[in-house]
Amino acid sequence: MHAIFVLLAVSTTVCAIFPNYANEFIDPRFLVNSSSWSDQTPLSRANIVKGAAFVATLGPWSVMNKTILAPSNDPKDYLSWAPYAWPDCSEAGNTTELTPEQIWVQCRYVTRDGQFNPDHHLVNDTGAFYAMSDAVFYNAIAWRLTGSNNFSTAAVNFINMWFIDPATSMNPNMNYAQLLRGPGKQMGQYIGILDLRAMAKIATAVLTLRMGGSSEWTPDIDQGLTKWVNAYIPWMTNSSLAHHERNAPNNHGSFFYSQLASLYLIVNDTLSARKAIEEYFSVLYMDQIEADGEQPMEASRALPYHYRIFNLIAMITNAKIGQYVGFDAWNLTTNKGGSIQKAADYVMSLNASSTGEAKEVEQLFQVVGAVSAVYGDPDGKYREFLQQCGPG
């Protein structure tokens, strides 16, 4: 039995309406080769198909749908506001007389780690991309599970609207991602590149549609997406924002490499994808995990349980991409003797409620399932943990 169908569907049963993982990569060769599937996962497959149909009803999505524009005034420029940034108007006069629009440009903004400013949702390119990536990912899988072109058509249409159609496509840069509002020139921050972290889901879907011979995956679509990605990769490798994110020692750097490698996969540059993954595991990864499995840079955050899982998802995604391109990272140990398995075991030992993060346990199921599939489960501890989300 391939664990992925169970892992993707488990949250549709007991834990949540639909699984919404920070990132995921599935070897498209497995999805295309139906003879390798197990007959033991019919309920899981049915839940995936049901979820794919549901999430498709929420679209389509485009950067053109927002009413607040980036400082460029180009609606095709991706825009998000720093989610943990809050206005300090102590030097801006009487705040009762300021409109929200005045606050955005007259008040300086300060970061409160882990505290979401609810008004950042007024600009929702982030949510739109994330929903789109889920819809593309699950609909491509549902196409393979059912053979129905309804699912492949939905996946292709969403890709076309976000990346290809000249009237609706996003400009290939993240210049205004997680923009810090306030006086003076407003630009994005390097940490905003994290907003497109789910590019691995897009890569999974694209490779599956391409390799599976979807009739909807036409040469025009393939060439259009390739053109967009080939325009975005130079920004990801040469811009000052990307340079800072690439060197971020925490989850930001981990997800940067997930995104970069996924982009290379989309344009069939397997060699560059492998180089990106090798670079991650030889540099950033080496200082991310202690001998006992602790992740000190994530543990120092205001939401430490969440961020430990968050970085684990990035590390596991990178290892999965590595496996796909012929680089085995699963048993690599860090400078302190840590490993992906040790990091997962460490988080499993923690009490999420101690930091007020009980709801985050659901995000750990994806990690535990992946670790179990790779390393085995001789003492049954992973299976026992996963049964919190329902039997099987």
**Amino acid occupying residue 280:** Y
Q: Which two tokens stand for residue 65?
A: 């749908």
In a domain, 188, yes or no: no
Residue 14, classed as helix, strand or coil, is coil
> Would residue 375 count as lying in a domain?
yes
Helices 340-348 and 361-375 cross at an angle (nearest 10°) of 140
DSSP state of 171: P
Structural domain contains residue 321: yes
**So what's the pLDDT on residue 95?**
59
Cα–Cα distance between 241 and 364 in angstroms, integer? 30
Task: Judge whether 264 lies within some domain.
Answer: yes
Q: At which residue do the structure tokens 């076309």 appear?
A: 160
**CATH code of 367's domain:** 1.50.10.100
Token pair listed for 358: 């009980």
Give residue 360's domain range: 247-392
Contact 275, 316 (CB under 8 A): no
User: Hey, is 86 helix, strand or coil?
Assistant: strand
Distance CA 309, CA 312 (A): 5
Show the tokens assigned to 43.
């309920």
Residue 389 placed within a domain = yes
Q: Decide if 29 is inside a domain.
A: no
How many domains does the chain contain in total?
Answer: 1
| CA–CA distance, 139 with 149 (Å, rounded to integer) | 10
SS3 219: helix
Q: Which two tokens stand for residue 124?
A: 């929702």
Give the whole-angstrom CA distance, residue 303 versus residue 300. Answer: 8
Q: Name which of 302, 288, 230 is nearest 254 in CA terms.
A: 288
pLDDT in tens, the chain (392 residues): 345 555 555 444 445 445 578 999 999 999 998 766 666 667 788 889 999 999 999 999 999 999 999 999 999 999 999 999 999 998 876 656 899 999 999 999 999 999 999 999 999 999 999 999 999 999 999 999 999 999 999 999 999 999 999 999 999 999 999 999 999 989 999 999 999 999 999 999 999 999 999 999 999 999 999 999 999 999 999 999 999 999 999 999 999 999 999 999 999 999 999 999 999 999 999 999 999 999 999 999 999 999 999 999 999 999 999 999 999 999 999 999 999 999 999 999 999 999 999 999 999 999 999 999 999 999 999 999 998 765 44
pLDDT score for 1: 38
8-state DSSP, 194: G
Contact 370, 346 (CB under 8 A): no
Write out the two tokens for 277: 């993954």
With respect to residue 387, please indicate whether it lies within any of the assigned structural domains: yes
Question: Per the domain annotation, does 155 fall within a domain?
Answer: no
304-324 helix and 270-282 helix, angle to the nearest 10 degrees? 140
